[in-house]
Amino acid sequence: MENIVIIGNGIAGISAARHIRKLSDKRIIVISGETDYFFSRTALMYVYMGHMKFEHIQPYEDWFWEKNRIELVRGYVTQVSPDTKQLLIDGSRALHYDKLIIATGSKSNKFGWSGQDLHGVQGLYSKQDLDLLEVNAPNKEVCKRAVIVGGGLIGIELAEMLRSRDIPVTFLVREDSFWNGVLPKGESQMINEHILEHHIDLRLGANLKEIVSDGNGKVKSVIVAETGEEIPCDMVGLTAGVSPNVDFLKDSGIELRRGVKVNRFLETNVPDVYAIGDCAEQHDAIGNRRPIEAVWYTGRMMGETVAQTICGNKLEYKPGHWFNSAKFLDIEYQTYGWVFSERGMKENEAHFHWRHPQEKICITIAFDQESGQFLGINTFGIRMRHQVFDKWLTQEKSVDQVIEHLADANFDPEFYKHHEADIVSKYNSDFGKSIKSKKKSLKRIFQIS
């Protein structure tokens, strides 16, 4: 029987394991140094906030693994030897594999700041980081102020977490508006306002110069590069992005750049070794995607794809239309298709932006200004139906058609106020059109003939 070894029990590795089990009877071993069982990484924040206990963020009950004959091994893989098809766990236990899947995820970026390894300084990625946060910032008495460095999705989550325990937070963001490398300016501006509403001390255009020690190896303060201001604090969160967690493969002969280099079949340069999820790096980016995609959904898709390949059904990794979601404090964000920020905007890409006059709700629709083709949508505070946008993107609908049928795409709970009328009238006045909003149709939504 073939021995499939998976390093990493995150969403990518576990998706692969589950689907290999569905398709075959192969022996499956999953190795993780982080936790005994698979958990939802994106939900770690809710454990600190007290919304859930750690056991709640584990999607499967503990008996699931034995029942499905997925063997779980606890330990860090320290060495991989493709020549002998062997790997070492914690430097001692050796394990043979017939096929190896690397799904080791990411680690927090540290850019060599002075003081970055002091006590009280940490990233937020792993279960261990969460436990460390309970030490560094259990409450506002122990942690009188926290400074977060890096304005991305993890940074704002960490800010939300700390605020849930009333810990004062200073948020250093390098950009002159929050996440504006990704979000168009209207949206980015709205999130700036929302961060301030939550009493987070947001510092835009502020870089970290150094982290100052208290003389006992613990953080005392940080110094802002631009102003030289010293901000006293008990905890520093380093959330300036993540990069693939592949250091243990350095001498293995497996080709690395930032991540493990893979082709479209998720194969590495070494036979029978695959890489999936955050740690995989495509030779050539797929469409508008980045070569390394550190996203929950893509990890899952790669896991499912590689399972097919390993079970004798060689399959290319072909992700469908791009989508993603996040939550900025109280504001939900969803995106379907591509909407680029002013910095990354493609040629011919034009935007239509609407924002609610009072509430924190807005949308941005990207379209091709020559052909009028709909390219993508960002929505904040309005839920949209994935299925509908997926269909519209496949059918290459025009922006006018999308605007006209926007009610079909609404996914807000029942009785919520609808904004289609306002959106359409803003669109009409922006572009001199006279589109009338079509009423929501169950027939169209559920695709009944």
Partner 1 sequence: MSTYDRSMALTGQPPKILSRNQKIATLIGMGGLGILLLAAFNVSFPNKGLWLTLSLMAISAGTIWFSWDAYTHKLPGIKNDGVWFKSISSKGLWGWMAGIALTGFYIVLYFYPEYLGLVKDGNNKGVIGLFDPLSRMLSGNPASQWFVYGTLYTVAILAFGIKFMWKYRHNRYERIRTMSVMFFQTAFAFIIPELMARLNGDKILNGGSLPYYDLKNVWPLNYYNFEGYRIKSFLSSGDIGFALLIFGILSVFVITPILTYKYGKRWYCSWVCGCGGLAETAGDAFRQLSDKSVSAWKVERWVVHSVVVFVTLMTTAVIYSYLGHDTSKYWLTKSTFLIGVASLLTLVFAWVMLFKRDQFKKDAIYGAIGYFVIIMALIGFHFFSGDGNVFLFKSETLRKSYSFLIGSIFSGVIGTGFYPIFGNRVWCRFGCPMAAMMGFQQRLFSRFRITTNGGQCISCGNCSTYCEMGIDVRAYAQKGENIVRSSCVGCGICSAVCPRGVLKLENGPLEGRIDSNQVLLGNDVDLMTLVNKK
State the Cα–Cα distance between residues 349 and 376, nearest whole angstrom: 10
Tokens of 287: 């469409």
State the Cα–Cα distance between residues 122 and 113, nearest whole angstrom: 12
Quick check: 268 and 275 in contact, CB under 8 A? yes
Question: Do the strands 70-74 and 77-81 form a parallel or antiparallel pair, or are they unpaired?
Answer: unpaired
Contact with partner 1 (CB under 8 A) among 21, 27, 49, 74: 49
Contact with partner 1 (CB under 8 A) among 65, 178, 179, 322: 322
Q: Does 329 bind partner 1 (CB under 8 A)?
A: yes
State the Cα–Cα distance between residues 127 and 47, nearest whole angstrom: 10
State the Cα–Cα distance between residues 401 and 391, nearest whole angstrom: 13
Contact with partner 1 (CB under 8 A) among 130, 154, 200, 211: 130
Contact with partner 1 (CB under 8 A) among 25, 36, 53, 217: 53
Helix (H) or strand (E) holding 186: helix 185-197
Q: Using CB under 8 A, which residues numbered 72 to 111 contact partner 1?
A: none
* Least distance to partner 1, CB of residue 43, Å: 4
Scanning 24-32, 208-216, 317-325, 420-428 for contacts with partner 1 by CB under 8 A, the matching segment is: 317-325
Tokens of 109: 């970026």
Q: Which amino acid belongs to residue 122?
A: Q
Q: Angle CA(348)–CA(353)–CA(184) in degrees, nearest 5? A: 70
Non-local (6+) Cβ contacts of 360 within 8 A are: 190, 193, 194, 330, 331, 380, 381
Sign of CA dihedral 221, 224, 228, 231: negative
State the Cα–Cα distance between residues 169 and 159, nearest whole angstrom: 7
Contact with partner 1 (CB under 8 A) among 3, 78, 79, 164: 164
Helix (H, G, I), strand (E, B) or coil at 247: helix
Q: Does 135 bind partner 1 (CB under 8 A)?
A: yes
Q: Does 413 bind partner 1 (CB under 8 A)?
A: yes
Tokens of 299: 């990890």
* Least distance to partner 1, CB of residue 125, Å: 15
- The site map against partner 1 for 374-393 (x = CB under 8 A) is ---------xxxxx--x---
Contact with partner 1 (CB under 8 A) among 25, 36, 117, 134: 134
Scanning 95-103, 201-209, 210-218, 415-423 for contacts with partner 1 by CB under 8 A, the matching segment is: 415-423
Scanning 126-134, 216-224, 267-275, 397-405 for contacts with partner 1 by CB under 8 A, the matching segment is: 126-134
Contact with partner 1 (CB under 8 A) among 36, 59, 114, 346: 59
Q: Does 226 bind partner 1 (CB under 8 A)?
A: no
Phi, psi of 248 (to 5 degrees): -65, -10
State the Cα–Cα distance between residues 332 and 317, nearest whole angstrom: 29
Scanning 53-61, 144-152, 273-281, 421-429 for contacts with partner 1 by CB under 8 A, the matching segment is: 53-61
Say how far residue 143 (Cα) sits from the centre of its chain: 27
Scanning 180-188, 243-251, 327-335, 363-371 for contacts with partner 1 by CB under 8 A, the matching segment is: 327-335
For residue 55, give the DSSP letter.
G
Contact with partner 1 (CB under 8 A) among 2, 214, 267, 332: 332
Closest to partner 1 by CB, 101 vs 224, is 101
Contact with partner 1 (CB under 8 A) among 287, 312, 320, 357: 320
Q: Does 349 bind partner 1 (CB under 8 A)?
A: no
Q: Does 346 bind partner 1 (CB under 8 A)?
A: no
- The site map against partner 1 for 249-288 (x = CB under 8 A) is ----------------------------------------
Contact with partner 1 (CB under 8 A) among 37, 65, 296, 374: 296
State the Cα–Cα distance between residues 143 and 152, nearest whole angstrom: 22
* Least distance to partner 1, CB of residue 431, Å: 28
* Least distance to partner 1, CB of residue 73, Å: 20
* Least distance to partner 1, CB of residue 394, Å: 9
Q: Does 198 bind partner 1 (CB under 8 A)?
A: yes
Tokens of 331: 């504001």
Closest to partner 1 by CB, 329 vs 435, is 329
Q: Using CB under 8 A, which residues numbered 138 to 157 contact partner 1?
A: 138-139
Contact with partner 1 (CB under 8 A) among 12, 13, 19, 107: 19
State the Cα–Cα distance between residues 320 and 288, nearest whole angstrom: 12
Scanning 107-115, 206-214, 300-308, 430-438 for contacts with partner 1 by CB under 8 A, the matching segment is: 300-308
Tokens of 301: 């898709």
Quick check: 187 and 381 in contact, CB under 8 A? no
Look at the chain and count its residues: 449
State the Cα–Cα distance between residues 177 and 205, nearest whole angstrom: 7
